[in-house]
A and B are shown apart, each in its own frame.
Chain A
Amino acid sequence: MSTIAPPPLALQAEITHRCPMRCVYCSNPLALEPRSRELDTAEWCRVLDQAATLGCLQVHFSGGEPTARSDLAQLVAHASAAGLYTNLITSGVMLDEATLATLATAGLEHAQISFQDVEVTTGDRIGGLKGAHARKLGVARMVVEAGLALTVNAVVHRHNADRVAEMIELAVALRASRIEVAHVQYYGWGLKNRASLMPTRAQLEHASAVVEAARERLRGRLVIDYVIPDYWARLPKACMGGWGQRFILIDPAGRALPCHAATTIPGMIFDNVRDRPLDEIWARGAAFERFRGTAWMPEPCTSCERQEIDWGGCRCQALALTGDAAATDPVCWKSPQHRAVRALAQAEAMAPGDRFVYRGAPQKAPV
C-alpha cells in the first residue's frame, strides 16, 4: 500500500502568513494562520535540524512574507549551520540594506523577488500595495550588491502577458542570474480572481515564443524557467515533483503538508511538527501516504505511460475543478473533464472582468 519514500530534497518553510502585499493571485489559503499560532524560533530551529538529518539539501524560507519575522536571520544562520542551502522567497518590500547584510552574514545564498509587472501602475494594482513596485526594484539591486544570487520571479497573467520580453530585460538589467516567468496558478485566494487573470490562448502563445527566443539569445547569461498556465496545457505538471516524493512543506502553525494547497482537500489528516518528528511524518504520515506513488490512481492514469512522470498531476487542482482530489488532473487531455477546463479557460479569458477581489478589503481596487 505505502511506497517507501526517498528522503525529501527540500524543505519549504512557510514561516508566516503575514504579508503587507495583497496580491490578487495569492495562492495561500483563504483563511490565514494568525501570528499567535506561528511556530516560535526554537521550534523552527528544531524543524530545520530534523529536515537536514532527514536528507533535505535546501530550505526555502517563504510565507506570507518571511521577512515579516524578526528572527529570520537567526533561522537562516541555524539552517546554514545545519548544512542546508538557504533560499529566501520574498516580495522584497520589507527589506533594506542592513537586513540584507545581516542575512548574507547569516549564510543566505539566494533571494527570489516577485514582480507583478514591469509597469508600476499594473504592478502595484496586482500586488495590492502602492509603492511596492518601486521598492522591489531598489531591493533587487541591493540583493545583488550584497553578494547574493538573485532570481526575478515574474508573475504572468492577462494584464501583463504582452510584456514578458520587458520582464526578461528587467532581470538582465537587475543582474539576476535567473528568472522564473511564471503564469499564475490558480489556488487559494487566486481562484477568486481567476476570471480576471486568465490569459488568452494568443497571449500564451506570444509569451511562450518570447521566452523561447530569449532563452536562445541569453544562453549562458540568464537562466529562464518557464511555467505555463495549467488550464491551457494538454499535459499536467508533476505537482511538487510527485506527492510526497521531493518536498516537505511546513505551514506557519507547524502542519506538515505535501504541497502548499493541500489543506483545501477535505478529509486529510495533517501531522504537526509540534507533535511528531519530521522523519516519521515524511515516511508514515497519513497526508504524505494518501497520494504517494501510483496505487491511489484512477484511470486514465493507471494505464498511462506517464504515470511516474507527472504523477497524476495536481491533487488540489483536480479537487478545485472536478470536486474530487483523487481524480486525474483535468488539465490532462486524457481526463474526461479536460474539454470542460479548456472551455472554462476560453470563457474566462474572453470575459471582460478585471475587478479584483483583495484580501481583507471590500471588492474595490485600492489604486
Chain B
Amino acid sequence: MNAGSGIGPSGAARPRLAPHVRLSFDARRARWVVIAPERLLLPDETAVEVLRRCNGDASLDDITADLARAFDADRDEIARDVGALLRDLGDKGIIVA
C-alpha cells in the first residue's frame, strides 16, 4: 500500500516468517494464531492460507499460482491481494523476504 515497504513487489521474493515469529494452531480456540514478541495476531482464513505458504522456499509467484489453483480464482486478483497482505505483514515485522 505504501512505498518503502521491506517487501518489494518482486514475484521472485521468497517470503518467510520473521525470526521468532510463529504460526501455530491454537487447539483451545480452534484457530490459527501468529505469535510474535509481545504481540499476537489473529489471521483470517485468507491470511492463514497465505502465511502457511510463506516457507522461505516458495516465491511470491509460486504462492500466487498455488492459491489461484487451490481456490480456482483469478491469478491477478490473487497477486494483488497477496501483495497487499504481505506488505502489511512486512510492516508489522511478521514476514520478511
A residues sitting closer than 8 Å to B (CB atoms) are 7, 9-10, 55, 57-58, 60, 85, 87, 109-110, 112, 147-149, 151, 177-178, 216-217, 219-223
Which residue of chain B has its CB nearest to the CB of A109? B20
**B38, A223: Cβ atoms under 8 Å?**
no
Q: Are B2 and A57 in contact (CB under 8 A)?
A: no
- One of B4-12, B48-56, B57-65, B67-75 contacting the partner: B4-12
Docked Cα-Cα span, A58 to B92, in Å, equals 18
A149 lies within 8 A of B33 (CB): no
Chain A contacts of B2 at CB under 8 A?
216, 219
Q: What's the Cα separation between A219 and B35 when bound, in Å?
A: 20
How far is the CB of B1 from the nearest CB of chain A, in Å?
A: 10
Q: Which residues of B contact A55 (CB under 8 A)?
A: 26, 28-29
User: Does B90 make an interface contact (CB < 8 A)?
Assistant: yes
Q: How far is the CB of B46 from chain A (nearest CB, A)?
A: 21
Contact B20 A110 (CB under 8 A): yes
Is the C-beta of B66 less than 8 angstroms from some C-beta in chain A? no
Chain B residue contacts of A222, Cβ below 8 A: 93
Name 20 extra pairs, CB < 8 A, besides A57-B35, A112-B38.
Answer: A9-B40, A55-B29, A57-B33, A58-B38, A85-B22, A109-B37, A110-B20, A110-B37, A148-B20, A151-B37, A151-B38, A178-B38, A178-B93, A217-B4, A220-B4, A220-B90, A221-B6, A223-B91, A223-B92, A223-B93
What are 26 A-B contacts with C-beta separation under 8 Å?
A: A7-B29, A9-B40, A55-B26, A85-B35, A110-B20, A110-B37, A112-B37, A112-B38, A149-B37, A151-B37, A151-B38, A177-B18, A177-B37, A178-B37, A216-B2, A216-B4, A219-B2, A219-B5, A219-B6, A219-B91, A220-B5, A220-B6, A220-B87, A220-B91, A221-B6, A223-B91
> How big is the B interface, by class?
20 to 34
CA distance A226 to B64 in the complex (A): 34
Question: In the assembled complex, which residues on chain A have CB atoms less than 8 Å from the CB atom of B93?
Answer: 177-178, 222-223
Minimum CB–CB distance from B96 to chain A (whole Å) comes to 8
Residue ranges of B at the interface with A (Cβ–Cβ < 8 Å):
2, 4-7, 18-20, 22, 26, 28-29, 33, 35, 37-38, 40, 87, 90-93
Query: How close is B21's CB to chain A, nearest CB, in angstroms?
Result: 8
Q: Bound state CA distance, A216 and B29, in angstroms?
A: 35
Cα distance A223–B5 in the bound complex, in angstroms: 12
List of A residues within 8 angstroms of B33 by Cβ: 57
A58 to B28, CA, bound (A): 14
Taken together as a complex, chains A and B put the C-alpha atoms of A216 and B92 apart, in Å, by 12
Chain B contacts for A87, CB-based, 8 A: 37-38
B38: chain A residues within 8 A (beta carbon): 58, 60, 87, 110, 112, 151, 178
Alpha-carbon distance between A58 and B33 when the two chains are bound, in angstroms:
12
A143: min CB distance to chain B, Å: 11
Q: Closest 8 A-B residue pairs measured CB to CB?
A: A220-B6, A110-B37, A149-B20, A223-B93, A55-B28, A85-B35, A109-B20, A220-B5
Contacts of A178 in B (CB 8 A): 37-38, 93
Q: How far in angstroms is the closest Cβ of chain B from A177?
A: 6
In the assembly, what is the distance between CA of A244 and CA of B33, in Å?
20
User: Which A residue sits closest to B7, measured CB to CB?
Assistant: A220
